[in-house]
């Protein structure tokens, strides 16, 4: 380190600064960058960077507590210098050695056998007095004795001050200084890596991708605050959450039902059920009825009581084996306990006897004293004694809470009813009774017999609705007394197939939504939300009479996706966030899915660079899209033109899978873009290019155009410089968010998505797709094949 900075600082600051630098280098994020084996970023480079006086001064002065530590360290240095100077002035005599030796012997003897204080004073004063009388006979020796006493005093002061300062410096360097140093080290490491430092994948943990449904990875959004305000303005009813699949409807529904929307959790009684794909309304309501009963019993720590149906008997062949293992385990347990008791019985007996002997007299004396004091207080101070007893009795009654005995009766009755409902809904019960009367004589017999029976029947649908509404109303009335709310979540309504099926489902079960002070939260498809929004038009829809309100969830923005991934995958930098955000369209489910693919590709290829990882991921996506469309095309048409196209697609898939993702392949990317610019799919001569293959071709070609655009944006070098040049506040069409918008627009209109991509490519100065270079093959039909290829293009 340069001497130009450290000669101004106390001596002990420098070693602790170096320890803080070493500890900061071991930070997981810094270590992840060092493990990339980049030649410009090593531990030596970081240590040299932190040797600069500018950084040293900035790090040390960033903490206000450093001023006090610097003064303490300077005092230690001053005492040390005074000690050295005083020691140098002393002449070598046995005085100090004798004093320290006597003190050491005394402390050892005191620690072993114990010695009174006056012995210590005598032992320590004797060498000082003896040597003092001896030294003070001569003037020179007298001065040397004073210097020795001064040296001893400096030594004691220096040792005490140095010990205290070292402890403070250790805590400051390894805790506070390291925390101050971490962001500065990240900044210096960024400067060493250059402008493309964010184009390296250094994700440290993937736990958020493994346990995607864990609530600790949920982050709040503006949609949650909107839903909370809507619920606060309602006293009950049904509210629907709509949006595209994978946008997070189920997560938002769970948070609403569990009371996790606000900053602080709220107490709710909730039940969440999944809607089956094939259903009958009465069966779904039957299942929902049972779920409410089970969850309410679980809220009060009860288990459903099921009737005795049958008893499974163990096979005779398995009984000896079960008896053998059971007897062996019991024998091991008893033998172990017996050995433990046998080993410690003497010690336990002696300990118990010693405790009894020492505590019994004292306890007996305390008991007698307490009894006498109580009798005296009761007789001499009757008013105070009775007031104290009255206060204690009132407190005990208040703690016992007799009001809960009265108010708990409805709860117990409701719990009992939940048990009964479960038995009625799950089992068919029958009761039979028989009566017989008879008399017999020697030759004449007369008898009468009567048998009667009854069996329970299942509820009809109207009865089921009425009973369910009644149960929910009673649950809400009881839970509202403790300021609880009742939530029923019905998830996956968008899995019912068509919107007509979902509307029919709502029409059948909407009778249960009108329960006072009960909130129903549903997740529905976009069609249902759009139908509710059109409720003011002349056409009337079932959603108008079923739902109180609809909350539309939009896809995540780029900033929201960055916050979500930084919570789940620390170290996932902005370029990778932009890549997976574009591929997913901002849908959280696909966002996590593509992030998993990126991290899996990183582990498989061992390539941390953005260009290589993006190229590998996007080529895989293109190959999968080509394979899917190839199978669809072969299934619908088997003409010669189609067969040639299917073969060309197979060739392109082979080229993609054999390509090296570590290097750029402009020719392959141009092939993908050229195929994306084809106007219509191949078809037989004289046939119109219409129908399902043509529609699928539009979707497929638009997706290839999207993949080709992503390749040109993310699979090139100097991403940071290009992003800085092409994006900005005045260049909205060039923002990376537009790529995610184009991905979502494909589900609505491929033509509209293509226009978004064209605008983006113009603002990013991406060149148009060129025709692939055709390599002529030798033979007489070369020109004919070249013309056929040009015609298909």
Do 499 and 602 reside in the same domain of the chain? no
Is 705 among the domain residues? Answer: yes
Is 435 among the domain residues? Answer: no
Q: Is the CB of residue 299 less than 8 Å from the CB of residue 269?
A: yes
- The predicted model scores a pTM of 0.68
- The mean of the pLDDT values for the chain is 78
Tell me the two tokens of residue 623.
């190959």
From the number of C-beta atoms within 10 Å of its C-beta (0-12, 13-18, 19+), residue 635 rates as exposed
Is 449 among the domain residues? Answer: no
Between the alpha carbon of residue 678 and those of residues 180, 454, 693, the distances in Å are: 57, 75, 14
472 pLDDT tier (thresholds 50, 70, 90): very high
Q: How far apart are the first and last CA of the chain?
A: 67
Is 411 among the domain residues? Answer: no
Model confidence pLDDT, tens digit, residues 342-379: 888 887 888 888 777 777 777 777 778 788 888 887 88
Q: 89-98, 294-303, 365-374 — which one is most confidently predicted on average? A: 294-303
Q: What is the DSSP string of 161-221?
A: HHHHHHHHHHHIIIIIIHHHHHHHHHHHHHHHH-TTGGGB------HHHHTTT-GGG----
791 pLDDT tier (thresholds 50, 70, 90): very low
Tell me the two tokens of residue 686.
């004289």
The DSSP bridge pattern shows strands 430-440 and 445-455 to be antiparallel
Q: CATH number of the domain that 494 lies in?
A: 3.40.50
Q: Dihedral sign, CA of 75, 81, 83, 85? A: negative
From the number of C-beta atoms within 10 Å of its C-beta (0-12, 13-18, 19+), residue 570 rates as middle
Q: Is the CB of residue 573 less than 8 Å from the CB of residue 200?
A: yes
Is 199 among the domain residues? Answer: no
583 pLDDT tier (thresholds 50, 70, 90): very high
User: Max alpha carbon distance in the chain (Å)?
Assistant: 151
Model confidence pLDDT, tens digit, residues 375-396: 887 888 788 888 888 888 888 8
Cα angle 239-241-246, degrees, rounded to a multiple of 5: 160
Tell me the two tokens of residue 287.
């299942």
How many folded domains does the chain comprise?
A: 4
Do 487 and 542 reside in the same domain of the chain? yes
The DSSP bridge pattern shows strands 485-491 and 237-242 to be unpaired
| Residue 400: other Cβ atoms inside 10 A | 10
Do 261 and 151 reside in the same domain of the chain? no
Do 719 and 620 reside in the same domain of the chain? yes
- Quote the domain boundaries for residue 604: 571-792
3-state SS class at 550: strand
Residue 131 has pLDDT above 70, yes or no: no
Least confident of 11-15, 59-63, 340-344, 655-659: 59-63
pLDDT of residue 793: 33
Residue 2 has pLDDT above 80, yes or no: no
Q: Is the CB of residue 592 less than 8 Å from the CB of residue 568?
A: yes
Q: Which of 710, 615, 670, 703 is nearest to 793 (CA)?
A: 670
Tell me the two tokens of residue 291.
């779920």
What are the two backbone dihedrals, phi and then psi, of residue 201, each rounded to the nearest 5 degrees? -85, 115
CA-CA distance, 589 to 494, in Å (whole number)? 16
CA-CA distance, 524 to 245, in Å (whole number)? 10
Do 530 and 472 reside in the same domain of the chain? yes
Residue 608 has pLDDT above 50, yes or no: yes
Between the alpha carbon of residue 172 and those of residues 28, 45, 165, 183, 636, the distances in Å are: 21, 25, 10, 17, 73
Please, what's the b/e burial string for 38-49 (b: 16 or more CB within 10 A of its CB; e: otherwise)? beebeeebbeeb
Do 104 and 15 reside in the same domain of the chain? yes
pLDDT of residue 442: 54
Residue 147 has pLDDT above 70, yes or no: yes
Is 565 among the domain residues? Answer: no
Do 291 and 364 reside in the same domain of the chain? no
Do 174 and 43 reside in the same domain of the chain? yes
pLDDT of residue 312: 45
724 pLDDT tier (thresholds 50, 70, 90): confident
Is 172 among the domain residues? Answer: yes
CA-CA distance, 127 to 99, in Å (whole number)? 6
CA-CA distance, 469 to 463, in Å (whole number)? 10
CA-CA distance, 580 to 563, in Å (whole number)? 13
Residue 41 has pLDDT above 60, yes or no: yes
What strands, in cross-sheet order, belong to the sheet with 518-524? 268-274, 485-491, 518-524, 237-242, 549-552
Do 228 and 298 reside in the same domain of the chain? yes
What are the two backbone dihedrals, phi and then psi, of residue 550, each rounded to the nearest 5 degrees? -130, 130
Do 602 and 521 reside in the same domain of the chain? no
Do 637 and 748 reside in the same domain of the chain? yes
Entry field: residues in the chain: 793
> Among the three residues 552, 579, 612, which one is the final residue of a domain in this structure?
552
CA 361 from centroid of its chain's CA atoms: 59
Do 583 and 716 reside in the same domain of the chain? yes
Least confident of 9-23, 108-122, 231-245, 276-290: 108-122
Model confidence pLDDT, tens digit, residues 424-451: 887 776 666 666 655 555 555 555 566 6
3-state SS class at 430: strand
CA-CA distance, 29 to 571, in Å (whole number)? 7
Is 84 among the domain residues? Answer: yes
Please, where are the H alpha helices in 305-435?
Answer: 319-380, 382-400, 402-426
Q: Which of 697, 768, 736 is nearest to 614 (CA)?
A: 736
If residue 649 lies in a helix (H) or strand (E), which one and from where to where? helix 640-658
3-state SS class at 632: helix
CA-CA distance, 166 to 567, in Å (whole number)? 38
CA-CA distance, 583 to 622, in Å (whole number)? 12
Between the alpha carbon of residue 679 and those of residues 178, 518, 701, 793, the distances in Å are: 61, 55, 9, 9
Model confidence pLDDT, tens digit, residues 183-225: 787 777 777 776 666 677 776 666 767 776 666 667 778 888 8
> Among the three residues 374, 390, 415, which one is the final residue of a domain in this structure?
374
Least confident of 90-99, 513-522, 684-693, 772-781: 772-781
Tell me the two tokens of residue 302.
């009860």
Model confidence pLDDT, tens digit, residues 305-352: 766 444 444 455 556 766 776 788 888 888 888 888 888 888 788 888
Strands (DSSP E) contained in 603-714 are none
If residue 563 lies in a helix (H) or strand (E), which one and from where to where? helix 558-568
């Amino acid at each position: 380190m340069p001497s130009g900075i450290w000669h101004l600082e106390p001596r002990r600051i420098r070693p602790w600064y170096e320890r803080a630098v070493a500890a900061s280098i071991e930070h997981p994020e810094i270590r992840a960058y060092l493990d990339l084996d980049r030649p410009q970023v090593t531990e030596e480079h970081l240590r040299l960077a932190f040797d600069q006086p500018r950084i040293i001064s900035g790090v040390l002065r960033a903490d206000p507590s450093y001023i006090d530590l610097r003064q303490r360290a300077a005092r230690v240095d001053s005492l040390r210098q005074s000690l050295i100077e005083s020691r140098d002035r002393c002449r070598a005599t046995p005085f100090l050695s004798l004093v320290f030796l006597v003190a050491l012997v005394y402390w050892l003897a005191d620690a072993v056998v114990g010695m009174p204080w006056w012995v210590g004073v005598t032992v320590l004063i004797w060498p000082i007095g003896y040597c003092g009388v001896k030294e003070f006979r001569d003037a020179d020796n007298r001065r040397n004795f004073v210097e020795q006493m001064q040296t001893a005093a400096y030594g004691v002061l220096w040792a005490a001050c140095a010990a205290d300062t070292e402890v403070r410096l250790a805590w400051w360097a390894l805790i506070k200084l390291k925390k101050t140093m971490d962001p500065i080290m990240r900044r210096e490491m960024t400067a060493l890596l250059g402008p493309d430092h964010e184009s390296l994948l250094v994700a440290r943990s993937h736990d958020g991708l493994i346990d995607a449904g864990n609530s600790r990875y949920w982050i709040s959004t503006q949609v949650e605050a909107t839903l909370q305000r809507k619920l606060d303005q309602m006293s009950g009813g049904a509210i629907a959450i709509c949006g595209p699949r994978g946008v997070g409807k189920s997560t938002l529904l769970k948070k609403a039902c569990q009371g996790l929307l606000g900053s602080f959790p709220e107490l709710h009684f909730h039940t969440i059920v999944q809607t089956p794909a094939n259903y009958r309304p009465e069966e779904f309501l039957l299942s929902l009825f049972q779920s409410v009963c089970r969850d309410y019993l679980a809220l009060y720590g009860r288990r459903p009581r099921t009737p005795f149906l049958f008893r499974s008997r163990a096979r005779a062949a398995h009984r000896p084996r079960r008896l053998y293992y059971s007897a062996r385990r019991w024998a091991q347990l008893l033998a172990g306990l017996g050995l433990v008791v046998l080993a410690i019985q003497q010690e336990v007996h002696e300990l118990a006897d010693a405790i009894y002997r020492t505590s019994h007299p004292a306890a007996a004396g305390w008991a007698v004293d307490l009894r006498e004091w109580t009798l005296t207080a009761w007789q001499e101070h009757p008013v105070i004694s009775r007031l104290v007893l009255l206060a204690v009795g009132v407190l005990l009654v208040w703690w016992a809470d007799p009001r809960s005995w009265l108010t708990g009766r409805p709860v117990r009755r409701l719990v009992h009813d939940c048990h009964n409902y479960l038995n009625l809904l799950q089992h068919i019960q029958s009761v039979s009774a028989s009566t017989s009367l008879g008399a017999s004589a020697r030759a004449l017999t007369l008898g009468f017999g009567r048998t009667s029976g009854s069996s329970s029947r299942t509820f009809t649908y109207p009865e089921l609705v009425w009973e369910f509404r009644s149960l929910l109303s009673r649950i809400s009335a009881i839970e509202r007394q403790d300021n609880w709310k009742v939530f029923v979540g019905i998830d996956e309504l968008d899995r019912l197939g068509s919107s007509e099926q979902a509307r029919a489902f709502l029409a059948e079960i909407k009778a249960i939504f009108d329960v006072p002070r009960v909130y129903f939260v549903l997740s529905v498809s976009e069609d249902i939300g759009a139908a509710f929004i059109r409720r003011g038009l002349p056409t009337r829809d079932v959603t108008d009479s079923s739902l109180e309100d609809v909350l539309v969830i939009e896809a995540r923005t780029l900033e929201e996706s960055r916050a979500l991934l930084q919570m789940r995958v620390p170290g996932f930098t902005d370029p990778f966030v932009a890549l997976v955000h574009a591929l997913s369209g901002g849908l959280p489910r696909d966002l996590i899915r593509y992030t998993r693919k990126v991290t899996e590709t990183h582990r498989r290829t061992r390539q941390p660079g953005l260009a290589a990882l993006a190229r590998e991921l996007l080529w895989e996506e293109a190959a999968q899209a080509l394979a899917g469309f190839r199978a669809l095309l072969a299934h619908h048409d088997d003409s010669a033109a189609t067969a040639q196209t299917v073969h060309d697609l197979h060739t392109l898939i082979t080229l993609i899978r054999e390509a090296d993702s570590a290097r750029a392949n402009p020719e392959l990317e141009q092939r993908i873009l050229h195929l994306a610019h084809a106007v219509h799919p191949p078809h037989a001569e004289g046939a119109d290019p219409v129908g399902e293959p043509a529609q699928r071709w539009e979707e497929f070609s638009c997706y290839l155009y999207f993949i080709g655009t992503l390749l040109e944006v993310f699979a090139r070098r100097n991403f940071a410089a290009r992003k800085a040049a092409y994006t900005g506040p005045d260049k909205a069409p060039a923002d990376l968010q537009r790529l995610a918008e184009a991905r979502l627009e494909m589900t609505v209109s491929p033509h509209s998505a293509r226009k978004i991509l064209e605008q983006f490519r113009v603002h990013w100065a991406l060149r148009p797709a060129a025709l692939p270079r055709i390599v002529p093959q030798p033979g007489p039909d070369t020109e004919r094949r070249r013309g056929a290829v040009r015609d298909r293009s």
